[in-house]
Chains A and B, each alone.
Chain A
Amino acid sequence: MIHTPETEKEFKAQIKKSLEKDFMRKTLTNFSVAYRQSRSNAFANLDLEGMREDIACMKDAGIPNLTVLFDEFKKNAEAAGTIIHVAKDGDEANRIIAQIAKENGVKRIVKSKSMTAEETFLNDHLEKDGYEVVETDLGEWIIQMRHEGPSHMVMPAIHLSRYQVGELFSDVTAKKQDPEDIEGLVRVARKELRPTFIAADMGISGGNFAIADSGAIGLVTNEGNARLTTTLPRVHVALMGFDKLVPDVSAAMKILKILPRNATGQALTSYVTWIKGTNECAPGPEGKKIQHMIFLDNGRLALAKDPIFAEVLRCIRCGACANVCPIYRMVGGHTFGHVYIGAIGLILTTFFHGKEKARGIVKCCLNCQSCKGVCPSKIDLPFLIKNVYAKVQEEDGGKPLKTRLTSLLLKNRRLFHTTMKAAAKMQGPATDGPYVRHLPNFLMGDHNFRRLPAIADRSLRDDWKQVKPKVTNPTLKVALFGGCAGDFIYPEQGKAFAKLCEAYNVSVDYPMDQSCCGLPTMMMAQMDTAKDIAAQNVKAFTAGDYDYIVTLCASCGSHIKENFPKLLTKKGAVPADVKAMADKLIDFSSFMNDVVKVKSEDFMNLGRKVTYHYPCHLVRGLEVTEAPMALLEKAGVNYVESNESQVCCGFSGSFSVDFPMISKNMVAHKLDNAEATGATTLVTDCPGCVLQLRGGAEARGMNLTVKHMAEVLLEEKK
């Protein structure tokens, strides 16, 4: 039986333990890097975006009609001899399957891999009832014998080394197995399991899709065990969630074309098995198979009606959201999830296994958008994770004091800005140049991996009158969205932007009623506050008739562009002023490169060696990748790309305060990669990333200057 922490404290203790597993971390890191390449090769020459859109549309059309699809499936499958069951929860599914086993005089059961059976803890139930149950997928067999749960949806034993498997197989065969001979280890499974297949009375499989208009199911596998499981024993039971229903073969093929490519970078798995009805089976009654299919609800049908969460039923269980998650690769699936792991696991756990199992993990998301970028059915995973976090807090009956205070403060712009001003004055003796000298007690210990910046003496808004570009007959009229860090910590970045605009004859306003974008409140799952703040900001920017609203903060930018419309949707529609703000929003680099169209001859071309960090919310939130590269080229710097330049720096606002042990490892990884380029300047497009990277570089005493793109462009400007 798997154990999942039910308190934040226990969860953090487990994270620390996971971070000590060097082999696993190295494996998952290598996998994460290799996966990106193999995925991109697998989709070469294919319209990936079109394929993703197709899956999302097909699934969205089916979700409100799952029971209709089910009725059609049932009719067609029953006509071919299949017996159909519905289980309202995991316990009922397990009882039904045990009953089928009993009625058919079954003793020995073989299973092929099924996440749904993991969800219901089917093996535990059947074993308690006295059945011999053997998992036959190699990875599942390994973890079954180790009494573990899967640490990845597609590769359940990815956390284990060949030595651990070698030791286990030596025990199983009572003969020393050479751990370096992986082919030999695989042969052990072939040899040991073959008699088990032959002796089994019942085979249990999952199903990757259930095709309504034919009553057939599809199984997507590589090893060939699902074929044997569904062929040799006289009874076949398939357990599937209602979400696996699709209307027809065409829909199943849409999934089939994307699932293996997105899961493992394969064009197609070795086997795709399509089964309908009671096929030939010599030991069965009249030479036919006994076939049962169980459709599991366990909260799915209620989810299908949920206006926010229905989207999670689009999931096709490819596991990609874990493959690219910077947290998963550090701590592994046994820590980062319950039965379902990774981003989708953070959400599904709450609905399938309850808030007790979700409480620890649900806060542990960087909002780096990596998962969302690879999800084959375009599920907005980070947004749903924040919503599920809110749900868990609500059900727990209250929000932590820190959260409530922050929420209250950010909701009231005047109070927030007065507080920042007071803090700037009060911190005087505790500062050391631009950094805080001594960290407050709650930020000691785990947190000293980076130096924290002091609040600026004068904020950007304090000095705006002097800073505002002096232009006549401007070519463009824009507003600057400052963001908290840009306003109160790094006003020099906004000032650099103003100077550049003056040089390019662009007028800039700084609407004084603007406030924090509200992303921090959403990160703390304060959805109501996030809505209030979003509305305040829309109001502040609607008055001026701006050509663009520019921000130097990629995080604020993507929050405004993507989340404002979601948060402020009224009766299913996005109000015009909200849409206008989202449409006008542009990040600094895109604005300078694509709108102002700066030219190489504007710059001095000094050739300093720089590298670049892509902020998560720039590259995945706003989907901007080319503009920063074009600007660096025009500025004439000597650019060297860092390894993993698009991976999160580990800041993510309050995340780095809540989970410093993870944040620390992430920034170390980034800085190691930056150092390896030999660059002396690290450029980025987000004040949050500047805070993390500059603070980390300073704590390490590195010879690396971290700057915002606006500062670098100004320095290079003729």
Chain B
Amino acid sequence: MSQGDILQSMKEGSEKAQAVVAPATTLEEAIAYAVNLTVQEGGTTMAAPGMDDAARKALSAACGEKGITLLDSPLRAQMTKIHTAFTWADRGIADTGTLVLNSDSEEFRIATMLSETHVAVLPVDNIVPSMDALEGYMTEHFKKGPGYIAFVTGPSRTADIERILTIGVHGPKRLHILFLDGGEK
């Protein structure tokens, strides 16, 4: 499979699962996307666990400009306040449109589970054709000791009432995936 095919498959799989896919050439562009989206949705807060200092600084500036509060750690004290979670995705699984999130950090879990909108930045080089390619990744991860990995395919959903597909039960109601092409991380 060529990288073009993998990207196309990832995009189709994600969209089929009601995720929104958009390109980003730099992390700054991704930050701008997340901030604008939050504003559009009328959100006023953002959590961004797992971003390094430089990214956090850029994020803080972008949020400040639009009147959005970038929430500080610990998020456990602010669990009901998170509008947008802005995070990296560790891997992508193309054939199902799935994000693989290294969720060892509790901050990361709280942000990605309790937010209304999750914006995930996925470096395109980290997308694999199918989950078979991740056997080694998973096994290695769990060799280290305790660990928590999440496969996320689209936003939270249910069909428990009359089998009617409804988005956004207990997890994020919206999932945006930004394909980061530029080898940056």
Tell me the A residues contacting B by CB distance below 8 Å: 27, 31, 34, 79-81, 136-139, 142, 155-158, 160-162, 165, 182-183, 185-187, 189-190, 193-194, 197-198, 211, 213-216, 222-225, 227-228, 231-232, 248-250, 253, 256-257, 264, 266-283, 288
Q: Are A273 and B170 in contact (CB-based, < 8 A)?
A: no
State the CA gap A185–B109 with chains docked (Å).
26
Identify which of B17, B147, B160 contacts A274 (C-beta below 8 A). Answer: B147
A276: chain B residues within 8 A (beta carbon): 142, 145-148
B131→A256 contact, CB < 8 A: yes
Interchain Cβ contacts under 8 Å between A and B, 23 examples: A138-B169, A222-B157, A222-B158, A222-B159, A223-B156, A223-B169, A225-B169, A227-B170, A228-B171, A231-B113, A232-B110, A249-B139, A267-B13, A267-B17, A270-B152, A270-B156, A271-B152, A271-B156, A274-B149, A274-B150, A274-B151, A280-B105, A280-B106
Contact of A155 among B95, B154, B159, B170 (CB under 8 A): B159
- Give B105's nearest chain A residue, CB to CB: A280
Which of B17, B159, B170 sits near A190, CB closer than 8 Å? B170
Q: Is the CB of B156 within 8 A of A222?
A: yes
Known: A138-B161, A162-B161, A231-B106. A282 touches B74 (CB 8 A): yes
10 more A-B residue pairs beyond the given contacts A270-B153, A274-B150, with a C-beta to C-beta distance below 8 A: A157-B161, A161-B162, A162-B162, A189-B170, A197-B170, A223-B169, A228-B114, A231-B106, A270-B155, A274-B147
Instruction: Give A82's nearest chain B residue, CB to CB.
Output: B146
Whether B146 and A270, one on each chain, are in contact in the complex, defined by CB atoms closer than 8 angstroms, is no
Contact B162 A27, beta carbon cutoff 8 Å: yes
Query: Residues of B contacting A273 with CB < 8 Å?
Result: 148-151
Q: Chain A contact residues: over half helix, strand or loop, or mixed? A: mixed
Q: Which residues of A contact B171 (CB under 8 A)?
A: 223-224, 227-228, 270-271
B79 at the A/B interface (Cβ < 8 Å)? yes
A279 to B150, CA, bound (A): 13
Asked whether B153 lies within 8 Å of A267 as measured between CB atoms, the reply is: yes
Q: What CA separation (Å) do A183 and B109 show in the bound complex? A: 25
Nearest CB of A to B99, in Å: 10
B16 contacts across to A, CB distance below 8 A: 267
* Cβ of B168 under 8 Å from chain A: yes
**CA distance in complex: A264, B98 (Å):** 17
B116 to chain A, nearest CB (A): 10
* B166 interface hit (Cβ, 8 Å): yes
Most buried by A among B153, B154, B170, B171: B170
Q: Does B96 contact A (CB under 8 A)?
A: yes
Which residues in A have their C-beta under 8 angstroms from that of B164? 182
Q: Is the CB of A198 within 8 A of B147?
A: no
A55 CA to B81 CA, complexed, in Å: 44
A667 to B96, CA, bound (A): 40
B65 within 8 A of A: no
Asked if B95 and A279 make an inter-chain contact with CB atoms under 8 angstroms apart, the answer reads: no
**Counting CB contacts under 8 A, is B80 at the interface?**
yes
Chain B residue contacts of A187, Cβ below 8 A: 168
B139 to A: closest C-beta gap in Å: 5
Taking the closest CB of chain B, its distance from the CB of A556, in whole angstroms, is: 39
Known: A80-B145, A186-B166, A223-B171. A257 touches B109 (CB 8 A): no
Shortest A144–chain B CB gap in Å is 12
Q: How many residues of B contact A (CB 8 A)?
A: 51
Which of A189, A232, A264, A274 counts the most B-chain CB atoms under 10 A from its CB?
A274
Whether A282 contacts B170 in the complex (CB less than 8 A), given A271-B151, A275-B148, comes out as no
Q: Mark B165-180, 1 if CB is under 8 A from A, else 0.
A: 0101111100000000
Question: Distance (Å) between the CB of A78 and the closest chain B CB?
Answer: 12
Candidates B17, B142, B143, B150; contact of A272 at CB < 8 Å: B150
Q: Are A156 and B160 in contact (CB under 8 A)?
A: yes
Inter-chain contact B146/A80, CB cutoff 8 Å: yes
Measured between beta carbons, the chain B residues less than 8 angstroms from A157 are 160-161
CB-nearest residue of chain A to B19? A270
Judging by beta carbons under 8 Å apart, are B76 and A282 in contact? Answer: yes
Q: Which residues of A contact B52 (CB under 8 A)?
A: none
A458 to B102, CA, bound (A): 76
**Contacts known (A182-B166, A223-B170); A270 close to B157, Cβ less than 8 A:** yes
| Complex CA distance for A137 and B156, rounded to whole angstroms | 12
Identify the interface centre among A138, A162, A194: most chain B CB within 10 Å of its CB: A138
Residues of B within 8 A of A34 (CB): 163
Q: How far is the CA of A344 from the CA of B155 in the complex (A)?
A: 31
B135 at the interface (CB under 8 A from A): yes
Judging by beta carbons under 8 Å apart, are B106 and A282 in contact?
yes
**Which of B76, B106, B139 has the most chain A CB within a 10 Å cutoff?**
B106
With A185-B161, A186-B166, A190-B168 known as contacts, the answer to whether A249 contacts B146 (CB < 8 A) is no
Query: Who on chain A is nearest to B153 by CB?
Result: A268
Of chain A, the residue at the smallest CB distance from B175 is: A270
CB-based contact B96/A231 at 8 Å: no
Please report the C-alpha to C-alpha distance between residue A635 and residue B79 in the assembled complex, in whole angstroms: 71
A142 cross-chain contacts in B, Cβ below 8 A: 160-161
Report if A279-B138 is in contact (Cβ < 8 Å); known contacts: A137-B160, A227-B109, A231-B113. no
Q: Are B142 and A216 in contact (CB under 8 A)?
A: yes
A186 & B163 in contact (Cβ 8 Å cutoff): no
- In order of increasing CB-CB distance, the 5 nearest A-B pairs are A224-B171, A277-B146, A139-B160, A272-B151, A214-B142
Interfacial chain A residues near B172, Cβ < 8 Å: 224
Contact B147 A182 (CB under 8 A): no
Contact A224 B147 (CB under 8 A): no
Interface presence of B132 (CB below 8 A): yes
Instruction: Return chain B residues, CB-CB under 8 Å to A27.
Output: 162-163
Shortest beta-carbon distance from B18 to chain A in Å: 9
Complex interface: chain B residues within 8 A of A186 (CB): 158, 161, 166, 168-169
Query: Is the Cβ of A253 less than 8 Å from the Cβ of B131?
Result: yes
A34 to B165, CA, bound (A): 13
Knowing A225-B170, A270-B156 are in contact, say whether A198-B79 is a contact too (CB < 8 A): yes
CB distance from A577 to the nearest CB of B (A): 44
CA of A43 to CA of B85 in the docked complex: distance in angstroms? 33
Chain A's closest residue to B151 (CB) is A272
- Asked if B41 is at the interface of the complex by the 8 Å CB criterion, the answer is no
Instruction: Answer whether residue B29 sits at the interface, using C-beta atoms and an 8 A cutoff.
Output: no
B104 within 8 A of A: yes
Please determine whether A269 and B153 come into contact, CB atoms closer than 8 angstroms.
yes
Instruction: Chain B residues near A190: list those with CB within 8 A.
Output: 168-170
Q: Are A257 and B131 in contact (CB under 8 A)?
A: yes
B139 contact set on A, CB distance < 8 A: 213-214, 248-249
> Which residues of A sit under 8 angstroms from B146, Cβ to Cβ?
80-81, 276-279, 288
Q: Nearest Cβ distance between residue A676 and chain B, in whole angstroms?
A: 25
Is the beta-carbon distance between B169 and A214 smaller than 8 angstroms? no
A582 to B145 alpha-carbon distance, docked (Å): 54
